[in-house]
Structure 1
Amino acid sequence: MKKKVACCYGTRPEFIKIAPVVLALRKFHSDIKQVLICSGQHRELLRGIGEDFGLKPDIELNVRKKIGDSGDLSELAAGLLKGFDGVFRRVKPDAVAVQGDAASAAFAALAAFHLRLPVYYIEAGLRTYDLSAPFPEEGYRQMISRVASVLFCPTEIDKKNLLNEGIPENKIHVVGNTVVDALKIILKGPALLRQGRAFTDKKIVVTVHRRENWGDPLKRILLSLKKIRDNNPEYKFIVSVHPNPIVKNVIESFLKDEPGFELIIPPTYRKFISILGQSSGVITDSGGIQEESPTLEIPCLVVREKTERIAGVKLGWSFLAGTGGDEIISGFRWLINWKRPKGGNPYGDGKASVRIADVIEKIWQ
């Protein structure tokens, strides 16, 4: 009888990073059945993404009608916990796989823990050790690590974090980050986009959405972008506007119809990666983009106070600017003068998903 693993997601980054694992299990381990479960946490941003990978969910929970409906995190958490608990009881998986640090991952893991199901945690060990940054993700990922049976780390830095927290070493596997695998699936070698090209197009991609940047930090970031535009009129800024009204309304009030800024609705993942790969760099508070930029060979200016993607900063792929105006303007100078660091991609070689699938197979032998 086939073993069964429930692969859970609810946000776009979760799907992008768990999809290669599902595909690797299907290709190399046909004796393992995957059940793809979507919570619906970020339904708008997930539309059409399955087509990029040839996947669609087996089960959808519909915990959210649209982004912004459940601004209360406790309400969202309760819906996720109840939804995942019900589907696990019905599907009866042998294990549950989760990825990252979104609410869907945290409460799928907790529901599995309550049912004494093993939790396989992809992208484990990322830390800022500040529960307010990122909020609530830092708390969620620490929680998942405590209940996980197997933890797949992107880098040795992440493994060290887990060891320092008392996680047994035999539970930890350093495999790389599956986002590199996803990019290879989408673009079949995306680093080729940069080969032989100078940064002559003068286009900068911008994404800002994180909860800890809501309010004054977001306003400071946007004001800084306008100052940068004033001082660098040759650059064009392509701003992907998150659909959450708390973010969308502020961005539009600052940048709509402003010269030098093009506001776009979040495109499909394939289209976004194409835009990103043809840019001169990216300004973001996203976690995933910090991992994608080395594969695309572009610089990443991080507008957050702290980042858990330390490897990219240490090797010179990213620069942590914070959210202060002067710091962001200084960071922009780093971005436009950036030189490609020596060495390979700090987040892996595009084979993380195969390593994860192989570990899962060995567990069940």
Structure 2
Amino acid sequence: MKRKIAVLFGTRPEAIKMAPVVRALRESSCLEPLVIATAQHREMLDQVLTVFGIQPDHDLNLMRPNQTLAGLTSRLIASIDDVLRDTAPAAMLVQGDTTSVLAGSLVAFYNNIPVGHVEAGLRTHDMRNPFPEEMNRVLTGRLTRWHFAPTASSAQNLCDERYPDETVFMTGNTVIDALFEARQHPDKIARSVQDGRRMMLVTTHRRENFGEPLRRICAAVLQLLEHDPVLEVLFPVHPNPNVSSVVRRLLGKHPRVSLCAPLDYLSFIAAMEAAHLILSDSGGVQEEAPALGKPVLVLRDETERPEAVAAGVARLVGTDTNRIVSTVCQLLTDPGAYLQMAQGASPYGDGRAARRIVDILERELGCREQPARDAAAAAQAVLIGAPA
């Protein structure tokens, strides 16, 4: 009988990054997925589940209008505890840094269920930036048995925090697995966006950008439209009223700004491919855009994904209006600067991260023979960037 591995997610980015893991678990000879959806983001989550053909075994449907973090956390803990007590999985996998991740890891710990953290080790070293994500992932790390780090720098963060070498595995990022899978089926990618060399894609959703930072971002967009008469903007608007009310009020009447509901995953890939450049505060976009050869300007002051910045395919611009405008203008007017960022280099993986994660679980749970490898060799593999 196959052993059940609980796979927990609640937001669209989590579902995208966990979909390849669910597929790899389905293909395992000794493990199988038990999919638990918290539905922290209901509508956007459902889009992804349809794309990847995932039907949750347990849909907790916990989203509430204007929910607080404390209220969401309390509902998550109670609901996830009920599921784990009924199903008793051999392990639980969580992904990233959401409230669902922290609550799920805590409940698994209470029930003596080992936790595997997918995309472990990302750090800004500022507990309030991003908020509450940095806190979520740091605390989750203390509850985790297997840390699946996406890059050498994230693995190094974990080593610096003195996690045991034998618990840290560098696997690559499953977001690249999902992206590669989607691009294998171009006929399924909705081409609702007109291809154009002057389309700028903009997304924003983070709490730290609510209020004045978002107003500065919108002011920058308006200045850029005035500067470049052929520039067009596509802005999928996050449904959170803190985002949608501001964006629609400030940008909704401009003839070259297209505001739309959040795009489904395949349509969003099409939008990224059609874009000349991308402005975003999204972590996933920082990972996906470089793989598509699209410059991404990060609307944050700090990032826990420094690899793309170091590779020159992403830049931190924050939310200062003048800085956003000057950086975008440089990319619009200087072909050399643009080409340097549009080199198509991806530091986040080769599309086989999910298979590595499942291989590790099979070995760690005793249903696959463990290759001879001591802890020192494991640590060296992590630090030099070899897949563990």
What is the CA–CA distance in structure 2 between the aligned matches of 1:231 and 1:69, rounded to whole Å?
A: 37
What is the CA–CA distance in structure 2 between the aligned matches of 1:327 and 1:92, rounded to whole Å?
A: 52
Q: Gapped runs of 5+ residues in structure 1?
A: 194-198
After superposition, the Cα gap between the structure-2 partners of 1:335 and 1:100, relative to the gap in structure 1 and judged at 3 Å, is farther
Structure 1 counterpart of 2:133, one-letter code: E
What is the CA–CA distance in structure 1 between the aligned matches of 2:182 and 2:80, rounded to whole Å?
A: 29
Shift of 1:343: 8.0
Shift of 1:24: 1.1
Q: What does 1:198-217 correspond to in 2, within 5 Å?
A: 201-217=197-213
2:66 is aligned, of 58, 69, 92, to 69
Shift of 1:200: 5.4
Question: Does the 8 A contact of 2:291 with 2:345 survive in 1?
Answer: no
Question: Does the 8 A contact of 1:233 with 1:260 survive in 2?
Answer: no
Structure 2 counterpart of 1:298, one-letter code: K
Structure 1 counterpart of 2:323, one-letter code: E
Structure 2 counterpart of 1:32, one-letter code: L
Shift of 1:47: 2.2
What is the CA–CA distance in structure 2 between the aligned matches of 1:331 and 1:128, rounded to whole Å?
A: 23
Shift of 1:334: 4.5
Is residue 9 of structure 1 aligned with residue 9 of structure 2? Answer: yes
**With structure 2 as the length reference, what TM-score do the two structures score?**
0.88
What is the CA–CA distance in structure 1 between the aligned matches of 2:123 and 2:70, rounded to whole Å?
A: 23
Question: Does the 8 A contact of 1:183 with 1:189 survive in 2?
Answer: no
Give the alignment's Cα RMSD to 1 decimal: 1.6
Could you tell me which residue of structure 2 aligns to residue 60 of structure 1? 59
Could you tell me which residue of structure 2 aligns to residue 230 of structure 1? 226
Shift of 1:344: 4.1
Could you tell me which residue of structure 1 aligns to residue 132 of structure 2? 136
Question: Does the 8 A contact of 2:294 with 2:344 survive in 1?
Answer: no
After superposition, the Cα gap between the structure-2 partners of 1:253 and 1:343, relative to the gap in structure 1 and judged at 3 Å, is closer
Q: What does 1:312-351 correspond to in 2, within 5 Å?
A: 312-336=308-332, 337-340=337-340, 344-351=345-352
Q: Tell me, what secondary structure is at the counterpart of 1:98?
A: strand
What is the CA–CA distance in structure 2 between the aligned matches of 1:343 and 1:222, rounded to whole Å?
A: 28
Equivalent pairs, count? 354
Question: Does the 8 A contact of 1:95 with 1:119 survive in 2?
Answer: yes
Shift of 1:272: 0.9
Shift of 1:279: 1.1
Could you tell me which residue of structure 2 aligns to residue 253 of structure 1? 249
Could you tell me which residue of structure 2 aligns to residue 51 of structure 1? 50
Shift of 1:189: 8.2
Q: Percent same amino acid among aligned pairs? A: 40
1:153 is aligned, of 146, 149, 154, to 149
Q: Gapped runs of 5+ residues in structure 2?
A: 190-194, 367-388
Structure 2 counterpart of 1:261, one-letter code: V
What is the CA–CA distance in structure 2 between the aligned matches of 1:293 and 1:244, rounded to whole Å?
A: 24
Is residue 41 of structure 1 aligned with residue 37 of structure 2? Answer: no
What is the CA–CA distance in structure 1 between the aligned matches of 2:290 and 2:209, rounded to whole Å?
A: 24
Could you tell me which residue of structure 2 aligns to residue 196 of structure 1? none
Is residue 179 of structure 1 aligned with residue 178 of structure 2? Answer: no
Shift of 1:3: 1.3
